[in-house]
Amino acid sequence: MKILISITQDLKTTKDTLSTQYSDLGTSTEAGPFKTREEALNWQNFMMNRRDNYVEFKSSSPSSSEAYWFGLTVENPEVH
């Protein structure tokens, strides 16, 4: 089972981007909010170290120093 994982400050844009690449996002889980990018990265690294089946998805949403960060996982996405 493949699980996509990402951190972002814009969950909607990240999910929309994933929806253009996958026909079905399966089960998605959101984590956060995290106050800093470093906190979000610590969460992502913790999750990725727990299992081998995580695949990092780089979010293209712009970052802002004042916005909160969120983690996102998507299980079993189906390719178009």
Give the domain ranges of the chain. Answer: 3-79
Per DSSP, 77 falls in state P
Residue 55, token pair as written in the block: 């695949």
Residue 71, by phi and psi: left (phi above 0), alpha (psi -120 to 50) or beta? beta
Question: Mind listing the pLDDT tens digit of every residue in the chain (80 residues)?
Answer: 789 999 999 999 999 888 888 877 888 899 999 999 999 999 999 999 999 899 998 887 667 778 999 999 998 777 75
**Is the bond preceding residue 33 a cis peptide, omega within 30 degrees?**
yes
Which amino acid type is present at position 34?
A: F
Q: Rounded to two decimals, what is the model's pTM?
A: 0.84
